[in-house]
Structure 1
Amino acid sequence: MEALLNQWLWRQEYWLPPGFTWEDMKETENVHYPRPSHLFFGIPCALILTGLRFIFERFVALPLSKKMGIREKYKRKPSNKPILEDFYSKNGKHPTELEILSLSAECNMHIRQVEHWFRYRRNQDRSSTTKKFCEASWRFIIYLISFLIGVAVLIDPLVSSLYWYYMLQLGFYSSMLMTLAFDVKRKDIKEQTVHHFATIFLITFSYCANYIRAGTLVMLLHDAADHFLELAKICNYSKWKRTCNILFVIFALVFIVTRLYLLPTRIIYSTYYYSMLRFQPFFGYYFFNALLMILQILHMIWAYMILQMLYRFTFTGKLGNDVRSDVEDSDDSGQGFKKSSEVEKKRGHRRSNNNCVSRKATENGVISNSH
């Protein structure tokens, strides 16, 4: 397996600058270089973290959510309607007005009843507040530990501590991908998936190519803001609105400073420009900077969402149902009634027009017959 990887994947002309080989990175008594084979431990590390997450959410986060007063709302089950269920599973959760009209006629139901059915059905698929609280608690613990370790590694970069810091990050993001299908479905799930893959590739490449310093700083800047976000979510689920608002503002400021200023002006600029003062361009150079740019684009997308929430908070004093886009679609119970009433008005308007036309036709017929 190692020979096959060395032949097709870890070819030195891909990952190392011209004039350097893997032989130049062999360990000696005094110098220890990272090796690609070291990363294989990331697989059992991901499995271990997944198991620890299950234990933490089951025996720590769940009792904590009850002590903090989180109670689930009653979810009304929709009636058994095979036609609507078939449409829900195949065509989507949010039918258009024309589709609602068609379904109401097909099922012999009132338009508002169809709207209610889809709302109740969507609520059945929506994850509970307790589950979201447990997930946010786990991510808060991991992000906080990672940030503290990153600060310690930055102050005293020992070889062993760097390795375990990398394994923690690689195992965590790998476990996030493993459990993505079972986690709460969020609005930015596509962006999160791209982010996790890009982060895993960055961790892997920066370790193998000995870009340890740049990789460590990138991970540290990411962890600097995320634990504030997860803690804000915990407070939001616990109805601690004021604390949630304060933490979200702190998160937004740290996010903007670290990911929109420090990351592009210090790290990306250094890896893109200063590295070429010492080495000639090679595949790994373009690969590494392309991954950093993908992360930066995602940061700009999330920053736009964050600034929208800060704008709304500034002028209304409210952040909304949750922080950032990292949340499920909000309950649209009010929208369902609004849409159904609009459909009813349109249908009633059409009916009144049809009645007027029929009355005019009748009157014309009576008049013509009388003549």
Structure 2
Amino acid sequence: MTMLRYLLDKFWDEDIWLPPNTTWDDLAPGPDKPVVLNDHTHLLYPIPLAIVLIIIRHMLEKYWFAPFGKSLGIKNTRPKKAPSNPKLEAAYQASSKIRHKQFYLSEEQVIGLAKQLDMTERQVERWWRMRRSQDKPSTLVKFCENSWRCIFYLYNFSYGLFVLWDKEWMWDIDQCYVGYPYHGITNDIWWYYMISTAFYWSLTISQFWDVRRKDFWQMFVHHITTIALLSFSWVCNLHRIGTLVLLVHDCADILLDAAKATKYANYQKLCDTLFAVFTLLWIVTRLGIFPFYIIWSTSIRAPMLQPMFPAYYIFNTLLCLMLGLHLVWTWLILQVAYKAITAGKLDGDIRSSSSELSDSSHQSNHSTPSRAHAHAHTNSNAHAHSNSNAHAHVNNHKDK
């Protein structure tokens, strides 16, 4: 217990987390303080709030999104189950550990399994395709998932814009540092921070049973980075710059999930339009406002207005990490946009499970899953394969 206390004291060293000549007692809330300061114990609230959001999501998907999706003609059908085969099932599960849940089978493995089980290579491939399809969620499930995120981002962006509209730092970013660290917290900002943090906790938790994406680990890093930024900025009373980061990140995600939902509902023209507007808004906010306004402010303006401290570099590093993820996703988005223009439409579902692509490619090429996957990425001569390639890159994109 003494060792744990020692480690905690070292971790929360005031010389690391606070500006010079500032102590934790200075930032502790109390009746003698001229403003209401952040309480670090309130960071426990987003965890039960995340459970509440998951329950709300479940209720909305069951009683609102699913019926609405069915009224649009979206099917809830599931693929036929693969015949029971313990040895093939064991190979299938083992492939997930090697290939990170992508369940690909090399040509050599197909030949080896066919000899071992006295089956033809075509039979092994057919079973593998059926087994992978068995794990894929229905279109209705994916529609409900994207509808929930679209509704939440719309709410959170609207609420954030509403509560920040009359805040001085919304229009003059230097106010994020003037008078720091004695910035008071109001009820509306408190709720904005708590609900936003709870949402990212809910995404981190539900990610393990939601539709499996090809960018699973990028998204996991993104969620953990966002939670860390929100939590540490709350503890260090840097909530002003934190609210601006939230606002910038929420707006584009509304259109992304709306485009996905319309794709599943077969509103192709609306999907293409939403995706085009999303691409433009993403570039403006994630590669424009975020680096050249917010990160520029934290890197250039903040040192001019306040003495720096080690935690400042931690925050800036996390912000730059998020920018790095944005650059990766922007490259994928631009590839999707290019493929969509050359193919005539945005084909495939945005950021869907990567296994979907391989199966469709496999069926058209009559090759092993691994060869079909490679073919979908390299063959750009035929129009159908151009569409599949666009699908492949859209699959990699993220929601924040």
Shared fold, TM over 0.5: yes
> SS of the residue aligned with 2:110?
helix
1:33-80 C-alpha deviation (Å, 9 max, x unpaired): 212122222222112112111111111111111111101345122222
Equivalent positions of 1:136-155 (< 5 A) are 136-155=146-165
1:131-175 Cα shifts (integer Å, max 9, x gaps):
111111111111111100111122124711100000110110011
Q: Secondary structure at the match of 1:340?
A: coil
Matching residue of 1:350: none
Counterpart of 1:7 in structure 2: which amino acid? D
Moved more, 189-198 or 274-283: 274-283
2:74 paired with 1:47? no
Whether the 8 Å contact between 2:230 and 2:242 is mirrored in structure 1 is yes
> 2:352 & 2:250 partners in 1: Cα distance?
16
Corresponding residue number in structure 2 for 1:95: 105
Of 16, 19, 37 in structure 2, the residue corresponding to residue 17 of structure 1 is 19
Question: Cα–Cα, structure 1 residues 244 and 125, in superposed 2: closer, same or farther, change >3 Å?
Answer: same
Residue in 2 that maps onto 1:69: 73
Greater displacement, 168-177 / 279-288: 279-288
Give, as a single letter, the amino acid of the residue that structure 2 aligns with 1:330: E
Alignment-mate amino acid for residue 208 of structure 2: A
2:134 corresponds, among 111, 117, 124, to 124
CA distance in 1, matches of 2:353, 2:130: 19
> Does residue 1:336 correspond to 2:346, yes or no?
no
Identical pairs, percent: 37
Q: Map residues 227-246 of structure 1 onto 2, 5 A cutoff.
A: 227-246=254-273
Matches within 5 A, 1:1-371: 7-27=9-29, 28=32, 30-73=34-77, 75-92=79-96, 93-157=103-167, 159-323=186-350, 325=351, 327-337=353-363, 338-340=365-367
Quick one: distance in 1 between partners of 2:369 and 2:308? 61
1:273 aligned partner, one-letter code: I
| Contact 2:105–2:368, Cα closer than 8 Å, also in 1 | no
CA displacement at 1:81 relative to structure 2: 2.2
SS in structure 2 opposite 1:319? coil
In 1: Cα distance, 2:197 partner to 2:12 partner: 18
Query: What SS is found at the alignment partner of 2:74?
Result: coil
Tell me, in whole angstroms, the C-alpha distance in 2 between the residues paired with 1:236 and 1:295.
27
The one-letter code sitting in structure 2 at the alignment partner of 1:151 is L
Give distance in 2, aligned partners of 1:249 and 1:342.
32
Q: 1:262 to 1:327 in 2, by over 3 A?
A: farther
Kindly indicate whether the alpha-carbon contact (under 8 Å) linking 1:123 and 1:331 is maintained by their aligned counterparts in 2. Answer: no
Is contact 1:136–1:234 with CA below 8 Å preserved after alignment? yes
Do the aligned partners of 2:201 and 2:227 also contact (CA within 8 Å) in 1? yes
TM value normalised by structure 1 = 0.86
Contact 2:57 2:148 in 1 (8 A): yes
Deviations 1:316-359 (A, max 9, x none): 22222122x3644324334335253899xxxxxxxxxxxxxxxx
Cα deviation 1:232-268 (Å, max 9, x = unaligned): 1110111111101110111111111000111000111
- Inter-CA distance 75–6: structure 2 relative to 1 (3 Å threshold): closer
1:355 match:
none
- Residues 232 and 248, structure 1, Cα contact 8 Å, conserved in 2: yes
Post-superposition offset of 1:26 = 4.4
- Cα RMSD for the two superposed structures: 2.3
Q: Give the CA deviation at 1:108.
A: 1.9
- TM-score, length of structure 2 as denominator length: 0.80
CA contact (8 A) 1:18 1:279 kept: no
Partner Cα distance (1:45, 1:269) in 2: 33
Residue type of the alignment partner of 1:62: A
Contact kept in structure 1, 2:299 and 2:316, CA below 8 Å: yes
Partners of 1:283 and 1:302 in 2: CA distance: 29
Q: What is the Cα deviation at residue 89 of structure 1? A: 1.1
Whether contact under 8 Å (2:75, 2:138) holds in the other structure is no
* Aligned CA distance change for structure 1 residues 117 and 311 (closer, same or farther; 3 Å): same
Name stretches of at least 5 consecutive residues in structure 1 with no aligned partner. 344-371
Moved more, 243-252 or 88-97: 88-97
Equivalenced residues, count: 341
Seen in structure 2, the aligned counterparts of structure 1 residues 235 and 195 have a Cα distance that, compared at 3 Å, is same
> CA separation in 1, counterparts of 2:187 and 2:369?
65
Give the CA deviation at 1:272.
Answer: 1.4
Point out where structure 2 has 5 or more consecutive residues left out of the alignment: 97-102, 168-184, 371-400
Judging changes above 3 Å, is the alpha-carbon distance between structure 1 residues 342 and 131 closer, same or farther for their aligned structure 2 residues? Answer: closer
